[in-house]
Structure 1
Amino acid sequence: MYVTKSGEKIFVIDAHVHVWDARPENRRNRYGQTFIDTFYGAHVGMTPPDQRWDQNRFNYYGAEGAAKDLFEDGYCDMAVMLPVYLKDFYINGFNTTKLCSTLKDLHPDKVVLNGRCDPREGQMGLDKLEEDFATYGFKGVKLYTAEWNGVSRGYSLKDDFVAPYIEKCRSLGITNIHIHKGPTTHPLDYDAFDVRDVDRVATMFPDLNFIVDHCGMPRIDDFCFIAGQEPNVYGGLALIPSYIHARPKYFTRMLCDLLFYVGPDRLLFGSDYAITSPKWIIEKFMDFSFDEETAREAGTQVTLDVKRKILGLNCAKLYGIEVPAEFQIKTAA
């Protein structure tokens, strides 16, 4: 929970959180190192100097470290876990559902644990999705279209083998489909992150929610026009708020476009922990506002109610999380 200087209480859900293991003993090959090194470069480049970690802690911080950073120091009331396996690079996987579950074990009421699926795995993957759902009962899954899988270096949501997985999610009652569409990370291929396949599945499955993590950046324009026409497409802001410190003008441009085309009701805050941590981002975001010209372009100022929606209320609605009345937007009598 974040409390403003005037005493207003803000319910915070970090909608993009990981618990990963990138220690040397878990790396399968050199790509296990280059992948985490790219992440660490982003951490150093975007994080204020007094908030930076050393690389050993960055490689592995564990569930207890995550709990402190998120729930004690980071103002978060809840966190949404998004697994990414990367078993081509990491022996036991990078950020598996099982590893993410260690944080939920510590704080079952604060953690939303999601699953993951890879449509290239055919019937075996469908069976595994059903098995994981029976174990964890999650409401969302993560698709990582640029993940390597044997000889495959990525896939498109337009591929014929994707729809049966979305159908399986729907039949299980999994309504939130998170799709990683953001900056490339070595050695993943840039074109495998292309956001211009999202409208296909969004149109085919209008009863499901498609959260595009990182909003397709740096392809923000493509995402904005797709989300503008598809009412079930949401913007997962992870990484975008991280620019508020090192690149504030860039952050302002991105947020302006997102608010104009998508609006404040379909944007979800995420820190992409532990690339960055929520504490300093939330503090800076709560102090943030557009200048007059930018507010006119965006169609709105970044008001306290806009911040309430982005920081927690929008995600709560997607996941059916009950938010106490004291955190809700006050309506005129």
Structure 2
Amino acid sequence: MYTKDGENYFIVDSHIALWDARPENQRNIHGKQFIDCFYDYHRNLSPEKEQWSYDEYLYQGGQRLMKDVFEDGYVDHAIFQPAHLGEFYKTGFGQTEEAYGLAAANPERLTYNHNFDPRYGEAGLDRLRADHEKMGFKGVKLYTAEWHGESRGYKLSDKWSYRYFEECRELGIKNIHVHKGPTIRPLDRDAFDVADVDHVASDFTDLNFIVEHVGLPRLEDFCWIATQEPNVYGGLAVAMPFIHTRPRYFAQIIGELIYWIGEDRIQFASDYALWTPKWLIERFVDFQIPADMTEYGPLTTAQKKKILGLNAAKMYDIPVPKELQLPDADETTTGPREPERADLAGIR
């Protein structure tokens, strides 16, 4: 919980990872390229006092994660969103067993989401079923630009992707988190395009599609899709640190999101260990859209509370103490709001 000016905020960090990018786990030069790109994001977008050394950035471990996220970071609950990247790392980038074990030992604080790659075909479906039987996860994190053999990406609208979504439906895995944001070396930028989200959201209306990184640098494309598809949500991972380096750009991001999809479908994320949640939460609670950006309304405390935790808590059935709920929490909508949002019927 975070407290400021008499207001208490229930915090859900909807996107964290426990990774191992140490040289002994790197399969090839691409493993080093990937973590180096991560470190560049960390170094260039973080306040100087929040920057880590390169060596400590390669691997954190569960003990440090618990301290950074919960003891120091104000977070009440966090959700693992692992990336496998088996072509680059021997045991994978996100450490499945370690992350799942940590979540199993701390269920009141951690939720473990898993991952799959539809290019593994039937064998991958068998693996998904077995993993779900063991772990019982409610969500998955997909990396559409991940390499697999000679393939350098896939689309959510591919035939095999549909087979996996159908299986998710059968297993009760409702929350599909998809990396649709800035590219990471050496992955291909176009493989993160948001267009395929529109396709699957229309065909799987009973699943939630959480677009991580809100489609950056394709924010406009994301907004036009998400305003039409009420089961599409925005995750703020990677967008959040611009609150430090480019506050007016962040104001544009959050202002556009609230205008198009409303505060009920936006989720806070630190993307730990790219960044730690403490300073992001502090900055967001203090943040206000500049007065001269008159196309956007001011951010309210209620909006910030929803974004910082109540929205993700609702999606994942995370208990929220009564005193930290909003009076109208049971009425939070997941579809279009009027009149603050874009009225596309009027545009047409």
The TM-score by the shorter chain falls in which range? over 0.9
d(CA) in 1 for partners of 2:184 and 2:125?
Answer: 27
Q: Give the match for residue 271 of structure 2.
A: 272
d(CA) in 1 for partners of 2:328 and 2:144?
Answer: 41
d(CA) in 1 for partners of 2:283 and 2:134?
Answer: 38
2:102 corresponds to 1:103: yes
2:253 corresponds to 1:217: no
Distance 1:331 1:173, change over 3 A: closer
Q: Give the match for residue 312 of structure 2.
A: 315
Structure 2: gaps (5+ residues): 330-348
Residues 88-145 of structure 1: CA deviation (Å, up to 9, x unaligned): 0000100033232243144221001001111111001111111110111000011110
d(CA) in 1 for partners of 2:50 and 2:168?
Answer: 39
Q: Give the match for residue 292 of structure 1.
A: 291
d(CA) in 2 for partners of 1:99 and 1:33?
Answer: 21
Which has the larger displacement, 134-143 or 283-292?
Answer: 283-292
Please show how residues 148-297 of structure 1 align to structure 2 within 5 Å.
Answer: 148-294=147-293, 296-297=294-295
The answer on whether the counterparts of 2:251 and 2:290 sit within 8 Å (CA) in structure 1 is no
d(CA) in 1 for partners of 2:95 and 2:157?
Answer: 25
Q: Give the match for residue 4 of structure 1.
A: 4
The answer on whether the counterparts of 1:97 and 1:113 sit within 8 Å (CA) in structure 2 is no
Q: Give the match for residue 58 of structure 1.
A: 57
Q: Give the match for residue 326 of structure 2.
A: 329
Aligned residues: 329
d(CA) in 2 for partners of 1:92 and 1:278?
Answer: 26
The answer on whether the counterparts of 1:67 and 1:103 sit within 8 Å (CA) in structure 2 is no
The answer on whether the counterparts of 1:73 and 1:279 sit within 8 Å (CA) in structure 2 is yes
Q: Give the match for residue 131 of structure 2.
A: 132
SS in 1 for 2:160: coil
Residues 135-193 of structure 1: CA deviation (Å, up to 9, x unaligned): 11000011110000111100111211111100100100111000110100110001000
d(CA) in 2 for partners of 1:43 and 1:99?
Answer: 23
The answer on whether the counterparts of 1:140 and 1:178 sit within 8 Å (CA) in structure 2 is yes
Identity of aligned residues (%): 51
Q: Give the match for residue 85 of structure 2.
A: 86
Shift of 1:293: 4.4
Residues 13-40 of structure 1: CA deviation (Å, up to 9, x unaligned): 0000000000000000000001000000
2:120 corresponds to 1:121: yes
The answer on whether the counterparts of 1:39 and 1:185 sit within 8 Å (CA) in structure 2 is yes
d(CA) in 2 for partners of 1:217 and 1:229?
Answer: 18
Q: Give the match for residue 305 of structure 1.
A: 302
SS in 1 for 2:211: strand
Shift of 1:221: 0.3
The amino acid across from 2:71 in the alignment is: E
Which has the larger displacement, 175-184 or 285-294?
Answer: 285-294
SS in 2 for 1:65: helix
The two structures have a TM-score, normalised by structure 2, of 0.92
Shift of 1:9: 1.2
Residues 225-282 of structure 1: CA deviation (Å, up to 9, x unaligned): 0001000000011010111111111111111111111110000000110111100010
d(CA) in 2 for partners of 1:198 and 1:156?
Answer: 9
The amino acid across from 1:52 in the alignment is: Q
Residues 173-230 of structure 1: CA deviation (Å, up to 9, x unaligned): 1110001101001100010000011011100011111000001100000000000100
Q: Give the match for residue 46 of structure 2.
A: 47
Q: Give the match for residue 67 of structure 1.
A: 66
Structure 1: gaps (5+ residues): none
d(CA) in 2 for partners of 1:331 and 1:117?
Answer: 36
d(CA) in 1 for partners of 2:191 and 2:328?
Answer: 44
